């Protein structure tokens, strides 16, 4: 049975980006790959939509970026999590668990 | 600390909007090139790989514009800063005018001061006008209104443009050594 890809709920992309970057600095393409990898390729993300998300997170001070050279010797912009971003990720994870738990409880109610 | 960084970033984006647009574009192009290369590695032909990469990326120009706009937005209300700047400019012009007329008008010093004041105010006026028009041009560039920008050929453009399919076919062809365009790009050095 093939895996069906789920669309993203509003606001979850930011959390996924933070999660992907919690494992180390990455460029935009790498972040997309890592999200696919950690979600077992189950989430459907329009690749370009990552970038406005990245810029928003950078503006909030949760991630920071710098230009560097990638594995294939091309210039690429690498992002990494800031201390504020790490704290925010913990908060987002807690919120998400609470929300998911409450939703599950509501769905299982008879 | 993040507020200071955000202010510095905003000022940089405000001062160099065209540079920000170029950086965003380079970043998005890099993504599409990487995806194309990955598609080719997985067995696609260059044309298909390129097309699939562009499709999975989505609307390039929309994302570019969004990123540029986010860069230029501040995380705080810019209105007090703008008002403060206007008030400071007006006060500066007033002080300069007083300085220029606060001596006998027909003396050498008086004429000299008036000339200096007129020169400084003219330079200020020209600088502000140029800064505004440059910002307007940059906004057009970000919104992809600028036809000149669209028509300017640049390296690896064949990954992006929908308008030059014929050129895509030529560029996408294998060269005499049988290499694909992406192989040429990555392995030429």
**Residue A64: inside a domain:** yes
Domain holding A58, by residue range, is 10-108
Residues 69-128 of chain B whose Cβ lies under 8 A from any Cβ of chain A = 70-71, 73, 75
Predicted confidence (pLDDT) at residue B160 exceeds the cutoff of 50: no
Per-residue pLDDT tens over the stretch B104-137: 767 888 888 888 888 998 998 888 888 777 766 6
Per-residue pLDDT tens over the stretch B31-53: 999 999 999 999 999 999 999 99
Predicted confidence (pLDDT) at residue A50 exceeds the cutoff of 60: yes
Q: How far apart are CA A43 and CA A20, in angstroms?
A: 14
**Residue A88: inside a domain:** yes
Give the H/E segment covering residue A76.
strand A75-81
pLDDT > 70 in chain A, percent: 90
CA distance B74 to chain A (A): 8
Least Cα distance to A77 among A26, A17, A21, A13 occurs for A26
CB contact under 8 A, B30 and A76: yes
Tell whether B160 lies on the interface with A, counting CB pairs under 8 A. Answer: no
**Residue A3: inside a domain:** no
Give the H/E segment covering residue A63.
strand A63-69
Q: Sheet with A26-27: list strands edge to edge.
A: A26-27, A75-81, A63-69
pLDDT, position B125: 87
pLDDT, position A82: 92
**Residue A32: inside a domain:** yes
Cβ atoms of B6 and B46 within 8 Å: the answer is no
Backbone φ and ψ of B160, nearest 5°: -110, -50
pLDDT, position B8: 73
| Closest by Cβ to B71, choosing from A55, A61, A75 | A55
- Name the domain count of chain A: 1
Q: Taking residues B143-158, report their average pLDDT.
A: 44
Backbone φ and ψ of A26, nearest 5°: -150, 155
pLDDT, position B62: 92
Q: Residue A89 is part of a domain; what is its CATH number?
A: 1.10.10.10
Q: Taking residues A38-58, report their average pLDDT.
A: 87
**Residue A1: inside a domain:** no
Most confident option among A19-23, B109-113, B151-155: A19-23
pLDDT, position B99: 85
Give the H/E segment covering residue A106.
helix A83-108
| Closest by Cβ to A48, choosing from B1, B33, B57 | B57
Q: Taking residues B176-183, report their average pLDDT.
A: 60
pLDDT, position B132: 77
Tell whether B182 lies on the interface with A, counting CB pairs under 8 A. Answer: no
Beta strands at A63-69 and A75-81: parallel, antiparallel or unpaired: antiparallel
**Residue A76: inside a domain:** yes
**Residue A35: inside a domain:** yes
Predicted confidence (pLDDT) at residue B68 exceeds the cutoff of 80: yes
**Residue A2: inside a domain:** no
pLDDT, position B171: 45
Cβ atoms of B177 and B35 within 8 Å: the answer is no
Least confident range of B81-85, B134-138, B180-184: B180-184
Q: Does the model's pTM come out above 0.80?
A: no
pLDDT, position B51: 93
B2-20 CB burial, b ≥16 within 10 A, e <16:
beeebeebbeebbeebeeb
CA distance A92 to chain B (A): 19
């Amino acid at each position: 049975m093939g895996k069906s890809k789920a669309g993203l709920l509003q606001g979850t992309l930011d959390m996924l980006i933070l999660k992907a970057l919690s494992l180390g600095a990455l460029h935009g393409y790498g972040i997309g790959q890592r999200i696919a990898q950690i979600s077992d390729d189950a989430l459907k993300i329009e690749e370009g939509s990552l970038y406005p998300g990245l810029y928003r997170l950078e503006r909030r001070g949760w991630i920071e970026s710098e230009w560097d050279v990638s594995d294939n010797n091309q210039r690429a912009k690498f992002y990494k999590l800031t201390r504020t971003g790490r704290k925010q990720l913990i908060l987002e994870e807690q919120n998400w668990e609470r929300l998911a738990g409450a939703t599950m409880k509501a769905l299982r109610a008879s | 600390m993040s507020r200071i960084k955000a202010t510095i970033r905003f000022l940089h984006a405000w001062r160099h909007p065209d540079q920000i647009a170029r950086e965003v574009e380079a970043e998005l192009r890099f993504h599409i090139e990487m995806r194309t290369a990955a598609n080719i590695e997985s067995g696609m032909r260059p044309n298909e790989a390129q097309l699939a990469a562009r499709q999975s990326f989505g609307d390039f120009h929309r994302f570019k514009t969004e990123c540029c706009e986010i860069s230029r937005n501040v995380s705080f209300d810019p209105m007090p800063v703008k008002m403060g700047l206007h008030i400071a400019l007006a006060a500066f012009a007033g002080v300069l005018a007083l300085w220029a007329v606060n001596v006998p008008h027909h003396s050498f010093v008086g004429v000299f001061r008036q000339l200096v004041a007129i020169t400084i105010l003219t330079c200020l006026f020209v600088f502000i006008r140029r800064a505004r028009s440059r910002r307007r041009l940059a906004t057009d560039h970000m919104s992809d209104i600028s036809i000149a920008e669209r028509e300017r050929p640049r390296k690896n453009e064949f990954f992006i443009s929908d308008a030059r399919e014929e050129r895509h076919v030529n560029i996408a062809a294998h060269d005499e050594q049988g290499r694909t365009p992406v192989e040429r790009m990555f392995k030429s050095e």
